[in-house]
Amino acid sequence: MLQSAFAVAAIVAAGVGLSGAGIATSGDAAYVKQIQDWRDTRVEHLRSPHGWLSLVGLDWLKDGKNTLGSAKGNDIVLAKAPAHLGTITLDHDTATIALDAKSGATIDGKSVATAELLDDSHDNPTTVAFGTASFYLIQRGDKYGLRVKDSQAPTRTHFAGIDYFPIDPSWRIEARWEAYNPPHEVEEPNILGQVDKVVVPGMAVFERDGKTYRLEPVIETPGDTNLFLTFGDKTNGHETYGASRMLYTEPPRDGKIVIDFNKSYNPPCAFSPYATCPLPTAQNRLKLRVTAGEKKYRGTHE
């Protein structure tokens, strides 16, 4: 990618975060390119027609029948839907939709009248689409809601881009891994004020500027090999998004785990008020300025 090549050349020429007295090595250049490629891919996914920037709504279902459509009399008003899109019936943990015969909407790309809605705990949640908009079911604790997206959302069409700290190889940290046997289950809060149970397989321990820090990544989904980390640090609310940032790590190997803070990124809540993001546990709030990864989003939502 031409943009990546120019970015690598500029960073290497400037000697930003590279080894020695501003002298780049071939290893440094390769690492810078790796991070830049990762950033490019991250933005590409963010800006995709169904990425996080396309979020336009989050509507919670009540037990029983929930009418949908753009008409004001509906239980859930969807701006771009036909006046009467259909009805979702929530019965305990099962949600089914019956579309209005004149809605023109599709379910998983097919013109069918009814379906059970699979929520986002499944690899492919059931998607109901109408025009440039769509929604699928999400479950958060004992609540079920509709995550509504629109490929023409202003947050997507007016995306302001992402600002970053300089790429710094010193923030690619090889931490000591202290496995928990058995793994711990801890409570992780989210932005809705709910508390979820998450599985923590161990603790990453590292040193920075002569001080020791500890982080507990989680297993995001049963069966995952990579680990997920939501962390806070002393840049939050100033240089970075106020609530947290996130990153993934590869599995621990030989008693070590690599935490690359250059790949730390803003949660979806930094871009949209309609996301449901986890918050750091007390253990994962670092008393440290992590000057790597994504900075605060300069767009309209904060």
Two structure tokens written together for 149? 């997206």
Of 221, 208, 123, 122, residue with least CA distance to 173: 208
Q: Is 2 left (phi over 0), alpha (psi -120 to 50) or beta?
A: alpha
Is the pLDDT assigned to residue 3 strictly greater than 80? no
Band (pLDDT 50/70/90 cuts) for residue 221 is: confident
| Per-residue model confidence (pLDDT) at position 301 | 57
Compute the average pLDDT of residues 12-22. Answer: 34
Of 221, 227, 137, 133, residue with least CA distance to 175: 227
Domains and CATH numbers, the chain: 1-47 (no CATH), 53-157 (2.60.200.20), 159-302 (no CATH)
Task: Please tell me the total number of residues recorded for the chain in this structure.
Answer: 302
Band (pLDDT 50/70/90 cuts) for residue 44 is: very high
Is the pLDDT assigned to residue 216 strictly greater than 70? yes
Strand ranges of the sheet holding 86-91, from the earlier edge strand across to the other edge: 76-77, 64-69, 86-91, 94-99, 114-116
Two structure tokens written together for 8? 């690598």
Helices and strands (DSSP H and E) totals, the chain:
3, 16
Is the pLDDT assigned to residue 65 strictly greater than 50? yes
| Per-residue model confidence (pLDDT) at position 27 | 66
Compute the average pLDDT of residues 228-237. Answer: 98
DSSP codes of every residue in 169-208: GGGEEEEEEEEEEEEEEEEEEBTTS-EEEEEEEEEEEEEE
Question: For residue 134, which amino acid is it?
Answer: S
pLDDT in tens, 253-295: 999 999 999 999 999 999 999 999 999 999 999 999 999 999 9
Rounded CA separation 103/164 (Å): 44
Compute the average pLDDT of residues 226-247. Answer: 97
User: 98 vs 118, 150, 223, 230, CA distance in Å?
Assistant: 14, 21, 34, 38
CB atoms within 10 A of CB 242: 13
Is the pLDDT assigned to residue 10 strictly greater than 80? no
Rounded CA separation 80/70 (Å): 7
Question: Lowest-pLDDT range, 9-23, 171-185, 231-245, 272-286?
Answer: 9-23
Question: Lowest-pLDDT range, 16-30, 183-197, 264-278?
Answer: 16-30
